[in-house]
Structure 1
Amino acid sequence: MSEGWLTRRDFTELNLLPMNQQDVEAFVGRWHQAAFGESAEAAPERDRYRERLLDTLRRKRDLARLATNPLMCAMICALHRDRRTYLPESRMELYGAALTMLLVRRDKERDVGAPEGFDIPEDAQRQLLQELAWWLIRNGQTEAEQDKVVRLIERLLPAMSGVAAPDRARDVLRHLLRRSGLLREPTPQTADFVHRTFQDYLGAKAAVEAQDLPQVAEHAADPQWEDVVRMAVGHGRPEERAMLISSLLERGDAAPHDEIRTRLHLLAAASLEHATMLAPAVRRAAEERAALLLPPRDSEAAEKLAGAGPVVLDLLPGPDQLDDREAAATVETAARIGGEHAFQILRQFRDHPDAFVRKKVVDAWSSFDDQRFVDEILSGMEMTGVHLTVSTESQLSALGRIGRVMALEINGSFAEDLMMPGLLATEPSELRLVSNDSFRDLRILVSCAPRLRSLRLQDCGSLKDYSHISDANIEHLQLEKMPVGPDMSPLAGLQGLTSIAINSRQPWGQLTKLPLPSQLRTLTLGPSTLSAPILDGIERWPRLTTLHLAADVRTPFATAELRKLVALPELIDLDIDLTQLSGLAELHLPPLPQIRSLRLTAEVQNRMDFGELRDVFPNLTTLSAQMEHHSSMTLEAEVSALRTIPHSSVTISSSGSVRLTGENELPGESQVRIHSRTIPVTKKPRFRLWKSL
């Protein structure tokens, strides 16, 4: 028949796409219903087989990959039933059993004979399919023209006595397409394997038999060859396995790029799964390389591992084998890679006792199907200490199935009627509305008012009315990149407010104009729009313990203004930006002994003495200083006073050179980072010194 003949007869042609997890589960359920029947007597056994198989599919990545094809899924169901719920544990055994079922048992057990007596033994079918698979792999193809496949079979048949004459090569191909269960016709002119896994399995077998392992090793860094390499290890004899794994390690050691080195070393480690017998020295070498990479311990390591691709997923340990830091990085690694196997790894960590690990799980939501992620991971998950972000309508509509959420961020321009159901269902105690231009007032807060304690509004340009903000008992408020025009006087009615951060440019010149209640404990202000902001009115909040004041070159705080901080007897944490500071003595401040933690950003001239800083802040326990020196002259920096501050970190950036004095008196815990052209240090310091030339 010619291509498109169904369409000409008023049929609709459809392409069969891979099944997703929900499709597979539905298929398995219906297969068991058809195989066992619908009677009440059959129900217990039917349900037991179905649930055991579904559980196995969730745990076994290789099996799940096969099951995305309806034919393969039916084959797995049959194999699972035939073996009384016990499928082969080994990946290689599983593929071998599947091939036998497809090549031989499928027809024999259905009593389907070969047409016109044309029969090909299982071994001969395997050999033909192996050669075709290896030819496709070598040529970087997953599909071939049937005419080329026929020519390949013609060359093979003379060496396969009793199968068929070379002139019947097209009949042999037709038999493989119709009866093997492994080949299919995407179009009348082409052929491919029904699943890529079988191409790699059979091709790897052909490569081993043809002694082409050096060619396999040569392509090992290509992700498309990953399964070929691993299965070649499984098919090989002990000495062949040792040669191939050793080659992977050597190529990895010599690789010029970290990503390739990581991929090859991890591929060698993953291949050990298929190496039942292997020289101990080779196994030990592969395990040692992997131990340097696994488990990941931070985001940087997670990013590096994820670059190696899905091979990493088979090597990631489970939650019981990891500390909290490793567990968080492991979750991040899986989320970066994605896919079904990664999803199953995330499921293992959904009930982890550490909140930061659970946060990493939640952060992966946007990388997977919204509804399924909710149903299988987020629904019923403990959300204490976890921040949940939604950024699509689908995620927003799914909030009702999650339950209580402690901290919720809605990112995007969603109308009030879309957000309201989710807020009513989750009742967050912390809410962030980000980049939303769809609401003009804060009536939406009524939906979560009973529990809401913290509110962050960021880049919500359409907000014009703050009058409903007092409907919630807000304790912490953050306004960032918000419009300047609206009346903010309703903020004065927040009697429970203890912390506020306003990181938008505001037109006030003195703090007396800020409509804030007197019980504030934490105040953060971004740069003012005025040229000379002052601190008049700071005494209105005598209970302040934390004060963050930002400035820039256009709106510097006058150093004389800082004398007004003496009106804050409980202030222990100060973060302030200064500009054009000739010397720290220029502050002209009385001692402020109550301050324990100081973060200071300043522009300095040619001399800086931290002893002057100690005169003002005699009881500092924590110092973080960022000093800018914009001069070609040498900056003289006296740092010995840092010895009395247990936790000190200073960064000095200079367009000229920096000369340190007093550095030998510093303890090892002190950190000084210097970015300059020249750093004269006459003696080796005992503190940690970073130099960027």
Structure 2
Amino acid sequence: MELHSLKESKLTVEILEKKLVQVCALNDFPKADRFITDGLKKGRLFLLLDGLDEVNFSLRAEVIEIIKTFIDTYEKCRVIITCRTAVYHNQFFDVVQQTLDIEDFRDKQIRDFLKAWKSQMSPGKSVEQLIEQLRKRPKIMELARNPLLLTMMAYLYTDTPFILPHSRIEFYQKATETLLELRDQIKNIRNEYEGKNKRRILQSLALYLSNFQQSDRREISYDTIINKLKEVLPDLNLSPSDTNPIIKEICDRSGLLLRIDGGENYKFAHLSLQEYFAAEALREKEQELINKFKIDTVAWREIVKLWCGLATDTTNLIREVYEKDPLAALECLADAQVVDETLAKKIIEHFKQELLHQEDTENIAKALAAVAADYRPRGSALLQFLVDIMNEDDNSSHKQAAAKTLSYTNLPQAVDILAKYYDKPHLLEVRQELIRMGDLAVSTLESIAMENCVEAMDDLVAIGTPDAADTLEKFLHDPQLKQQAAWRVTAVLDKLKEDENISDRL
């Protein structure tokens, strides 16, 4: 069940049960009342409650309490609740057995995912070529670790002349521009409406959905769309009669907006797309965005970050964000085009210390890495700071934090830095960081393995990509390494063959 559908101001366990019945009905299982009731009482149901972060801010605390009561009431049932990490603050710690983070795609998983597109690629295009382009674009590679965004990349690469850009904002800009200009490919019918007009409509709908007053931030009814377009179409020199045709063209040709519930409701294909169009809608309305962020930092966090990539000077907004949510301000620096250098240094210096002294540094490491991956002076200086920690700091926990941050940059030079500490017993985490970097680390691990280091061979198996397999196969021709390499080659080739079979079945 998608939790954003919980819109009632006085939610109860009984209402939640009725919602489960409604979900069944929407998925071709009508009149499931008895099934749900018996299943809950006997503990036979496995409940998936998706998107706590998408619940309206004003209702979220109430929804959390009802879910906790629900779990206590039907304690025999297994339950999984999903939520963006930035929103979750252990609200369910007293009623759940485990809290897990879902890892992003690693290189092998990206490659496996893209195999489904292989047969559709025209001559001159290949999965290998797309992966090579991703390797050369660290910030886009980070986006590719998200399945939805990787799907967009694969489609655009396969079916259009789309060229991958180098920044997150450029990707959203160019991807949405390309999708909004797509014609009917089968019938070769040109678009009736200009891409810029369809973009303006999507901006309006995204902003409406994102506003904290709305009870549901993900779905918008057809009737509401009609009313919103009455406001928008005259400014575009279009008439009310254009409402249905332009919405149809957006849905059918771009896929950015989806019909659901038999056309009664609509939603953006992914929350990140909705957030991008909302950021575009507020491009010239900085203070309005600041006010919205201060009211609900969770709902507007990603929109603020995307806005920073669109706006000219982001100094004032980032200063305001820093006062409310320092980590969000650091994340904004990765996308910001222009920001006062004194403010930027203040934020970065603050999080340098946080990185070295906090126990849980995962989100800080990712945010600092996004800044350090930028080739411009600010990023280069931060990268050098991380290098200095690795080379000069005697504190092993500091080195571990720096190593984690370096791995998240997806930079080739980060591999070289980490490799220097591969065999240090007090820095065993370096191996995991190199495995996380996937194919970028293969050649370096090959060099380490050539020194008769079986651990490096094991790490190549863990990476598990064709490049890693090819490297292990080379060792079969080395008298000193072939014995250690033999079974490892078999292991990684068997896994690749298994994945190929699964891909073929899909």
SS in 2 for 1:36: coil
Counterpart of 2:272 in structure 1 is: 197
CA positional deviation for 1:216: 4.6
Distance in 2 (alpha carbons) for counterparts of 1:56 and 1:201: 24
Q: Which residue number corresponds to residue 59 of structure 2? A: none
Please give the alpha-carbon distance, in whole angstroms, between the structure 1 residues aligned to 2:227 and 2:142: 30
- CA 1:31–1:195: 2 relative to 1, 3 Å: same
Kindly indicate whether the alpha-carbon contact (under 8 Å) linking 2:210 and 2:278 is maintained by their aligned counterparts in 1: yes
Amino acid at match of 1:286: A
Q: 2:153 aligns with which of 65, 73, 83?
A: 73
> Which of 327, 330, 334 is 1:270 aligned to?
334
Aligned counterpart, 1:156? 231
User: Which position in structure 1 is the counterpart of 2:419?
Assistant: 351
C-alpha offsets along residues 304-334 of structure 1, whole Å, 9 cap, x if unaligned? 5435584333134558951226897677448
* CA displacement at 1:201 relative to structure 2: 1.7
State yes or no: 1:322 paired with 2:396: no
Is the contact between residue 366 and residue 408 of structure 2 (CA under 8 Å) also seen in structure 1? no
The alpha-carbon distance between structure 1 residues 319 and 235, as it changes in their structure 2 partners (threshold 3 A), is closer
Which residue of 2 is the match for residue 25 of structure 1?
111
Partner AA of 2:152 in structure 1 = M
User: Paired residue for 1:178?
Assistant: 252
Q: Judging changes above 3 Å, is the alpha-carbon distance between structure 1 residues 27 and 110 closer, same or farther for their aligned structure 2 residues?
A: farther
Please tell me whether residue 52 in structure 1 is matched to residue 121 in structure 2: no
1:643-662 aligned at under 5 Å gives the runs: none
Residues of 2 paired with 1:130 and 1:89: CA distance? 24
Question: Mapping of 1:219-618 within 5 angstroms?
Answer: 221-222=297-298, 225-238=300-313, 241-249=314-322, 251=323, 260-261=325-326, 263-272=327-336, 274-275=337-338, 278=339, 282-294=340-352, 298=356, 300-301=357-358, 303=359, 305-308=361-364, 310-316=366-372, 317-318=382-383, 322-323=387-388, 324=390, 332-333=400-401, 350-353=418-421, 355-356=423-424, 359-362=428-431, 380=446, 382=448
**Residues in 2 aligned to 1:330 and 1:198: alpha-carbon distance in whole angstroms:** 37
Deviation by residue 1:354-375 (Cα, 9 ceiling, x = unmatched): 6448512235699x79xx7999
Q: Greater relative contact order: 1 or 2 (C-alpha under 8 angstroms, separation 6 or more)?
A: 2
Q: Please give the secondary structure, in 2, of the residue aligned with 1:107.
A: coil
- Separation in structure 2 between the aligned mates of residue 387 and residue 148 of structure 1, nearest angstrom: 64
Is contact 1:319–1:348 with CA below 8 Å preserved after alignment? no
| Partner in structure 2 of residue 143 of structure 1 | 218
Could you give the per-residue CA deviations for residues 570-595 of structure 1, whole angstroms, max 9, x where no partner exists?
A: xxxxxxxxxxxxxxxxxxxxxxxxxx
1:248 touches 1:264 (CA, 8 Å); kept in 2?
yes
Give structure 1 stretches of 5+ with no counterpart. Answer: 8-16, 253-259, 389-393, 404-420, 427-693
Q: Partners of 2:296 and 2:368 in 1: how far apart?
A: 15
- Structure 1 169/58 Cα, relative in aligned 2: closer, same or farther at 3 Å? same
Deviation at 1:28, TM superposition (A): 4.2
Structure 1 or 2: more strand by fraction? 1
1:48-82 CA-partner distances (Å, limit 9, x unpaired): 73453242466634541566456503344158855
Change (3 A) 1:78 1:190: same
In the alignment, does 2:291 pair up with 1:215?
Answer: yes
Match of 2:203 among 130, 152, 160: 130
Per the TM alignment, residue 178 of structure 1 is displaced from its structure 2 partner at its CA by: 1.5
Q: 1:97 to 1:296 in 2, by over 3 A?
A: same
- Higher deviation after alignment, 339-348 or 155-164: 339-348
What is the RMSD of the two structures over their aligned residues, measured on CA atoms? 5.3
Inter-partner Cα distance in structure 1 for 2:355 and 2:406: 19
**Closer, same or farther in 2 for the Cα pair 1:190/1:76, shift >3 Å?**
same
* Residue of structure 1 equivalent to 2:496: none
SS at match of 2:351: coil
Aligned length: 356
Query: Contact 2:201 / 2:229 at 8 angstroms: preserved in 1?
Result: no
CA distance in 2, matches of 1:364, 1:348: 12
SS of equivalent to 2:352: coil
Q: Cα 1:176–1:283, aligned 2, differ >3 Å: closer, same or farther?
A: same
Q: Distance in 1 between matches of 2:276 and 2:154?
A: 20
Query: Do the aligned partners of 1:359 and 1:387 also contact (CA within 8 Å) in 2?
Result: no
Q: Is the 8 A contact 1:133 1:200 kept in 2?
A: yes
Q: TM-score, normalised by structure 1?
A: 0.41
Q: Deviations over 1:108-166 (max 9, x none)?
A: 7776326xxx833212111110111122222485520433542453442453354331x
Q: Would the alpha carbon gap of residues 312 and 142 (structure 1) be closer, same or farther in structure 2, given more than 3 Å must change?
A: farther
Quick check: 1:79–1:98 contact (8 Å CA) kept in 2?
A: no
Q: Per-residue CA shift, 1:359-396, capped at 9, x if unaligned?
A: 12235699x79xx7999699658489x998xxxxx98x
Distance 1:47 1:245, change over 3 A: closer
C-alpha spacing 1:56/1:363, structure 2 compared with 1 (3 Å) = closer
Cα deviation code 1:80-126 (max 9, x no counterpart): 8554xxx322332222211111001x217776326xxx833212111
Amino acid of the structure 2 residue aligned with 1:290: I
Cα drift, residue 231 of structure 1? 2.0
Superposed CA offset, 1:632-654 (max 9, x none): xxxxxxxxxxxxxxxxxxxxxxx
Corresponding residue for 1:94?
171
1:290 offset after TM fit, Å?
A: 0.8
Q: Does structure 2 conserve the Cα–Cα contact (< 8 Å) formed by 1:31 and 1:77?
A: no
Distance 1:312 1:185, change over 3 A: farther
Structure holding more helix per residue: 2
Summarize the Cα distance change of 1:290–1:351 in structure 2 as closer, same or farther, 3 Å threshold.
Answer: same
Unaligned runs of 5+ in 2: 1-24, 31-101, 373-381, 456-460, 473-482, 489-506
Query: 1:475 maps to which residue?
Result: none
Structure 2 counterpart SS, 1:150: helix
**Where does residue 113 of structure 1 map in the other structure?**
189
Q: Using the alignment, how far apart are the partners of 2:152 and 2:404 within structure 1?
A: 28
- The CA deviation at 1:243 is 2.1
In 2, Cα distance between the equivalents of 1:219 and 1:313? Answer: 28
Q: How far apart are the structure 1 equivalents of 2:260 and 2:403?
A: 33
Q: 1:264 to 1:326 in 2, by over 3 A?
A: farther
The structure having more radius of gyration, on CA atoms, is 1
Letter in 2 for 1:287: K
In the alignment, structure 1 residue 36 sits paired with structure 2 residue 122: yes
Change (3 A) 1:305 1:27: closer
Indicate if the aligned counterparts of 1:92 and 1:231 stay in contact, CA closer than 8 A.
yes
Residues 135 and 141, structure 2, Cα contact 8 Å, conserved in 1: no
CA displacement 1:258-290 (0-9 Å, x = unmatched): xx44x1442353343x33xx4xxx232222331
Query: Aligned pair in 2 of structure 1 residues 266, 130: CA closer, same or farther (>3 Å)?
Result: same
Distance 1:149 1:309 in 2: 41
Q: Residue in 1 aligned with 2:95?
A: none
